Structure 1
Amino acid sequence: MTNFTIEKQLTLSDFRKIVLEERPVSVHSSILENVAKNHDFLKGFASNKIIYGINTGFGPMAQYRISEQNLNALQYNLIRSHSTGSGQPIDPTLVRGLLLARLNNFLQGYSGVHPELVELLVELLNKKVYPVIYEHGGVGASGDLVQLAHLALTLIGEGDVWYQGVIRPTEEVFAELSIQPLKIHVREGLALINGTSAMTGIALVNLLQAKKLLEWSVFLSAMTNEVVEAYDDHFSHELNHVKHHPGQQAVAKMMRSLLGDSHMIRSRKKHLYEGDKMDQDVFEDKVQEYYSLRCITQVLGPILDTIEQAEKVIVAEFNSVNDNPIIDHENANIFHGGNFHGDYVSLEMDKLKIAITKLSMLSERQLNYLLNARLNEKFPPFMNLGTLGLNFGIQGMQFTATSTVAENQTFSNPMYIHSIPNNNDNQDIVSMGSNAALLTRRVINNSFEVLVIQMITLLHAVDYLKCQDRMASATKGLYEEINAIFPSFVDDAPRYKAIAKVRAYFEKSEPVVSKAIRQQQ
């Protein structure tokens, strides 16, 4: 696999290559030289000066001076004392994102760390050794102290790690792979735990999955309109360009690209404007569809805009210096402040989880429309291809979708405003950013479950109508791919394993709309 050399500011695409594609990493020599200069400056500057976190205690204990012989012990004590996480271990993929985010912080050259720390983080990424880090512990100011303490615990050769999908003692894995633990030089303990890298790494993975969910939602919304033979004007250029929101216009353009060669989508002009329709007192054709079919661009447009805004903010945080104090060797000074505060990440994650919850709500409403024969007046109840009364169709799956959306709605309560003072009121206003990022992760995972059930229902709709030859090439292609994984069914049997297979396809596939549009070109 091609090596990825870090030599400049990283993009979300770079993050995807390193974290999700697991590309090996190296760091350009000029960046390492700058890290070394920064470390050497701190080592010299700190002599005979009171510098927070180097020869003082931490937080409210900063008024206590630490003796020369205890300086290294101070850093080790900080790491060990804050390794207090609880709850479930964070998924190893998220931890890989966290590792890269912490590495990228140090590569900015303002943290005073020894280059050995950078090299060790690179080694863990390349050997796919991931610290066991727990969900509960971070309040998101002074950074993700508890989560990052577990990262630091691994680096000094203690605690546990994920290796090849199994949790094992760090010491054992390091010995097996000939990895040398970190030795503290000046302030590596504080530098490691004082920052926003846990919430940021998780947030970047969330963004990549949210982008994928948005494209799936556009695709399934287009397919839903197609099987019910909806009108084409609600995603037309003419209607959407007069609403000056880029997200809405982009969603409409995607739908037009997907459905351009469909023989099922109807032209309003042809079906309602031409010919003599005015002699009817009651129109057989609905003049307008339900909102979940007709207002897709207006619902998904703001979600797309929210994702893109979140990307700008989170990528900026990813490339920022987010610890304290800032070691500035260019200006020969050290600056104390609060760059570890996670409000930027917390607020964007709250907005993102609200947006993705709305996406799941749209899917649930479209699903309900397809399953309710009294609404659609087109399909059998619960898309049941068997014997009504004897068989149940998608009825059981709908319960899962509905309850999962309800859980999303509960999780969407914002963390950003749930500051609780702690640390003897030193941390008197905090971000709860790691909580926000982890809850957003839950909402995203839940939403994949809901969209998968909608996909399975659409598969049944196509088979019921036998309309494959009239479908757009893009939607027909997706139908064929999913049908190969999970064909429509008549009999009643447990389907949870098959649902899991479709979900795995949804999560691992490349963005579906982009792929379909590229194939048409």
Structure 2
Amino acid sequence: MVTLTGSTLTIEQMKEILLNNSYVKASEESMERVKACREKVEKIVDEEQVVYGITTGFGKFSDVFISKENVSKLQHNLIVSHACGVGELFPEKVSRAMLVLRTNTMLKGFSGVRPIVVEKLISLVNAQIHPAIPQQGSLGASGDLAPLSHLALVLLGEGEVFYKGEVVKTEEALAKEGISPISLEAKEGLALINGTQAMTAMGVLAYIEGEELAYQSELISSITFESLQGIIDVFDERLHTARGFKEQIDVAERYRNILSDSKLITKQGEIRVQDAYTLRCIPQVHGASWQVLTYVKEKLEIEMNAATDNPLIFDDAVISGGNFHGQPIAFAMDFFKLGVAELANISERRIERLVNPQLNDLPPFLSPEPGLQSGAMIMQYAAASLVSENKTLAHPASVDSIPSSANQEDHVSMGTIGARHAYQILQNSRRVLAIELICALQAVEYRGVEGMGSITRKFYEDARNIVPSIKQDRIFSTDIERVTSYLKGLSNTKNTFHQKTIYGG
């Protein structure tokens, strides 16, 4: 059970909620804040004060006063009119994350919703009824309006949801779980949709999977390192301490641990004086990607606990502002794209070193019968294609802006596009690393499995249960997808082989 307070939610808790389907509840103190804030909204309505989003229209209609008898209709109209998302649905885990994040921001006590709204959101999370939300249609300011409107529809008993492995009508799922829909009252529709929870939820899932993929890249490349008889001196602690980047130092330490008892590694000068950069500079390149992940995690955890709707209701004032603007997460997601794309970029170059006979002493393309059988030749092509695609997806979404709402909302973040592309880059990068793993497993067989370190040998044996040795050309697409699924499956468990064996998780 994860207790939501509005200010203490962490990535680790989100792992529990998303990977283990942990239940959530609201702290008593946070619910008291919700109640107190709601009283202020009701006073505004009763006194017919002119306050944006409570007794006025939205966006360019902010100067249109809404009478007391129409405030509920205003909120309903807002949700149904803004539910115009298009395209494929967000992954179900993203939808679950959006419910949790939207609940958490309301528990800060600045949004002005009734406690029942928070309670219904928590009921959806705990019943695993997750809104079916189209991915496209958000500008990332005034928040993720279209995606969050599809989330809000579910509270009204409308739209569709993920339920027990299927997409069904909301009313069907609610009825089976004994959850009744509600009607929205003053401020509540706006409070539900004015925020950055779509881009942040997508970013949280991308980070969780990206963190595990970064660990996996170290283990996979360690097998490559053994296959190519890499020079272990490049991981010497003194070398990395001399530069000073913590992430680089940590990466080098993990490689020393992974390769500590390997018989396949070499010392400086034994075979070569220096390796190529894709081996020699692993700590520097991977370490820089870890710097990116560190930055992204920090920004996500701030936003996970942020008040991002508008207006915000304080003890002595109602203030309209722009906390819904997604620029901080837009930048973070564009940065994430670079860090993860680079893990794939250097991986593809290691694949080339494994398969190119001009760069190693292994059989050409790791073929069992060079010439008659192509071996891993075209797997490198596939990796190169994915890396090239990543380069186009890595173009920053945050540099673009198109005015909306009759130029009232004249600068937007495009952060949700950045988050979506970040997740796509992650999927591509996982496939590249799957290809490296297939090639590294084959190469280390030629080198001599008996010489592997104990950690890499255990990983070799696990992976060989997923993909067999290449004795004959076959449809390698099947192998790539099986290994990709294996790696993704490790990302979706709380304690992976890597965390338990190497990193003390």
TM-score band by shorter chain is over 0.9
In 2, distance between residues paired with 1:355 and 1:4? 30
* Structure 2 partner of 1:516: 501
2:348 matches 1:364: yes
2:433 matches 1:451: yes
* Structure 1 partner of 2:21: 22
2:407 matches 1:422: no
* Structure 2 partner of 1:494: 475
Larger CA deviation: 499-508 vs 420-429 = 499-508
Q: Structure 1 residue 332: deviation in Å?
A: 2.5
Q: For 1:380-416, what per-residue CA distance to the aligned partner results, in whole angstroms no more than 9, with x for missing partners?
A: 111112x222212112322221111111111000011
| Matched AA of 2:400 | H
2:36 matches 1:37: yes
TM-score, normalised relative to structure 1: 0.93
Q: Structure 1 residue 126: deviation in Å?
A: 1.0
TM-score, normalised relative to structure 2: 0.96
Q: How many residues align?
A: 499
| Matched AA of 1:514 | Q
CA contact (8 A) 2:71 2:185 kept: no
In 1, distance between residues paired with 2:313 and 2:431? 46
* Structure 1 partner of 2:312: 326
* Structure 2 partner of 1:11: 10
Within 5 A, what are the aligned runs for 1:31-430? 31-46=30-45, 47-268=47-268, 271-272=269-270, 285-328=271-314, 331-376=315-360, 378-385=361-368, 387-430=369-412
Q: Structure 1 residue 224: deviation in Å?
A: 1.4
Percent identity of paired positions between Structure 1 and Structure 2: 36
**Helix, strand or coil for the counterpart of 1:438?**
helix
| Matched AA of 1:411 | L
Q: For 1:229-254, what per-residue CA distance to the aligned partner results, in whole angstroms no more than 9, with x for missing partners?
A: 11111111111110121111111111
Please give the root-mean-square deviation of Cα atoms over the aligned residues, in Å: 1.5
Q: Structure 1 residue 508: deviation in Å?
A: 2.2
Q: For 1:201-223, what per-residue CA distance to the aligned partner results, in whole angstroms no more than 9, with x for missing partners?
A: 11111111111111111222222
CA contact (8 A) 2:223 2:444 kept: no
Q: Structure 1 residue 341: deviation in Å?
A: 0.5
Q: Structure 1 residue 176: deviation in Å?
A: 2.3
Change (3 A) 1:293 1:518: closer
Gaps of 5+ in 1: 273-284
**Helix, strand or coil for the counterpart of 1:5?**
strand
**Helix, strand or coil for the counterpart of 1:241?**
helix
Larger CA deviation: 5-14 vs 249-258 = 5-14
| Matched AA of 1:29 | E
CA contact (8 A) 2:48 2:68 kept: no
Q: Structure 1 residue 498: deviation in Å?
A: 3.4
Q: Structure 1 residue 44: deviation in Å?
A: 1.6
Q: Structure 1 residue 493: deviation in Å?
A: 2.1
| Matched AA of 1:390 | L
Q: Structure 1 residue 267: deviation in Å?
A: 2.0
Q: Structure 1 residue 513: deviation in Å?
A: 4.2
CA contact (8 A) 2:134 2:147 kept: yes
**Helix, strand or coil for the counterpart of 2:135?**
strand
CA contact (8 A) 2:226 2:444 kept: no
In 2, distance between residues paired with 1:141 and 1:106? 18
CA contact (8 A) 1:237 1:252 kept: yes
Gaps of 5+ in 2: none
Q: Structure 1 residue 512: deviation in Å?
A: 5.3
In 2, distance between residues paired with 1:309 and 1:204? 13
CA contact (8 A) 1:158 1:169 kept: yes
CA contact (8 A) 1:391 1:490 kept: no
